[in-house]
Chains A and B, each alone.
Chain A
């Protein structure tokens, strides 16, 4: 579905993404994790066309989409959400979702119906007429998801849709994400909430300093020495693994 080869993005002297490669097979849920400032969001933005890469290639469904603008990439079936939610504040929830749905239809009735149906799937049915600005953080995250879904993507890039939510809300979103995948949408997600990563993802890529430092199933990643050091600092792995050996 998605192949990223040696993608590099520099901002002036700073190399935010440094030759990162990853692969997302059709129908999978793949997670991208990494410490703060690792370059996850930049990698996402570069894949989705918001930044022009300085090197590397992005293949989506076998076609080279490197450097295409975001609207063209979205039209081809890859859509991203924003970590800092970007609602159309003065539009209603329904109108927000319709903006996404208009991509695939020019009939108002069909668009409205589609948006209403998606609102139901993400649990926003009772807020359709509210202004987006009236939503809570959790509501905004659901709205991000709904708008993206309304564009009928084949691949969904979710940037921290669970950050800032309480455990109940997280459980709710996890269910929604599962249902989206069951509906045939492939998912690549950035997430800090490890509970969610562990329960959702089949495959995890770990990004640190713009490089992919580990890749594997979630259980293997959780005990990976390099990953622990990236998160907790040099020497942390020894102490942690030493502790478990003593216990």
Chain B
């Protein structure tokens, strides 16, 4: 990494660490910060498979829900400490990722076919969670409020903010590693051209299963954190399509396959949603701000897909690439 990049990262980290204090620990600011970091973390989990390896999933909620349910079932029904249940939930996410990967990649599914199958898996898990007894079906699962760090529950939301910050930084480090490591190079090769990757000695099936397991593990970690923060999950919260869409939206808007794409995308998304909520309050004609936010998301997505296929990170890259391109012309 260059010196300036290192400085920028350090500065960003310090700013993020001080952010809650700047606002005097106001709950609104802290919660907004949490939401951005949490969305960035989940987006990064999608980005690792969808962006770096080009295996675009439409059903990442399946991992999120697996993580949320695994830790909650262990905690609520079997009395496990959430801190202990968390790694098990992460392992469960990895296992589900490996399982879905094995099935769909063995069948040779690529592109939109793979996306559709992941969507189907998420829906299947949602319906299962609705019907089997140990998830308590549509009633959902309530975690008893007992705020204590030992229970992975905090009275002050600032601790959730810092927990999300740690996860987010770890996921950024993982993404950075992917841009430099052999594993990451293989994923990029698979994304760009699978036949050529195979010809150059890459076991594309194995690498794709691995990356989906890694992505699933990360996403499941987010699921547990969600359950511990909001103390309630049900099948549509855990496995709902909107979760899957938010993860891929955040990555696509920010720039799929880039380190900071999901973080930027998460910032944009939550900024838009806050602004539209304010507008919705200000304009009496708009009674409900939710549809307005969705409309704005939609417009942003159309603009991004139409003019910036590499996401907003593409803006920087394009500007840098231009003089080179002219040089060769």
Contact = CB atoms under 8 A, between A and B. Distances in A.
Contact of A74 (B188, B199, B321): B199
Interface stretch (A24-32, A55-63, A80-88, A161-169): A80-88
A98 B183 CA distance: 12
A99 B181 contact: no
Interface of B: 180-182, 185-186, 188-189, 192-193, 195-204, 321, 324-325, 328
A60 B278 CA distance: 70
Nearest to B325: A134
B192 A70 contact: no
A79 B199 contact: yes
A100 B204 CA distance: 14
Given A102-B185, A108-B180, A108-B181, A91 B192 contact: yes
A86 B202 contact: no
Given A95-B185, A95-B188, A98-B185, A103 B196 contact: no
A148 B199 CA distance: 8
A69 B197 CA distance: 12
A81 B196 CA distance: 8
A86 B204 contact: no
Nearest to B203: A71
6 contacts: A69-B198, A82-B196, A88-B188, A88-B193, A111-B182, A151-B200
A-B pairs with lowest CB-CB distance, top 6: A74-B201, A88-B192, A86-B196, A103-B201, A99-B189, A102-B182
Given A91-B188, A130-B328, A134-B325, A151 B193 contact: no
Contacts of B180: 108
Contacts of A69: 198, 203
A147 interface: yes
A190 to B, nearest CB: 15
B201 A82 contact: no
Contact of A70 (B193, B198, B321, B324): B198
A7 interface: no
B188 A75 contact: no
A151 B201 contact: yes
B328 A48 contact: no
Contacts of B197: 99
Nearest to B327: A130
A87 B144 CA distance: 55
Interface in A42-69: 48, 50, 69
Nearest to A107: B182
Nearest to A80: B199
Given A70-B198, A91-B188, 12 more contacts: A70-B199, A71-B202, A71-B204, A74-B201, A79-B199, A86-B195, A86-B196, A88-B189, A95-B188, A99-B186, A131-B321, A151-B201
Nearest to A157: B199
Size category of the A interface is: 35 or more
A79 B181 CA distance: 23
Given A106-B182, A108-B181, A99 B328 contact: no
Contacts of A234: none
B102 to A, nearest CB: 16
Contacts of B203: 69, 71-72
A133 to B, nearest CB: 10
Contacts of B181: 108
Contacts of A74: 198-201
A98 B180 CA distance: 11
Contact of A79 (B189, B193, B200, B204): B200
A90 interface: yes
Contact of B193 (A50, A71, A86, A100): A86
Interface string A195-237: 0000000000000000000000000000000000000000000
A168 to B, nearest CB: 19
Interface in A98-129: 98-100, 102-103, 106, 108, 111, 129
B196 to A, nearest CB: 4
A90 B199 contact: no
A23 to B, nearest CB: 23
A89 interface: yes
A69 B206 CA distance: 12
Contacts of A71: 198, 201-204
Contacts of A103: 200-202
Given A75-B201, A130-B324, A147-B200, A99 B195 contact: no
Contacts of B321: 131
Given A88-B193, A151-B200, A99 B324 contact: no
Contacts of B182: 102, 106, 108, 111
Nearest to B202: A71
Nearest to B328: A134
Contacts of B200: 74, 79, 99-100, 103, 147-148, 150-151
Contacts of B198: 50, 69-71, 74
A131 B324 CA distance: 10
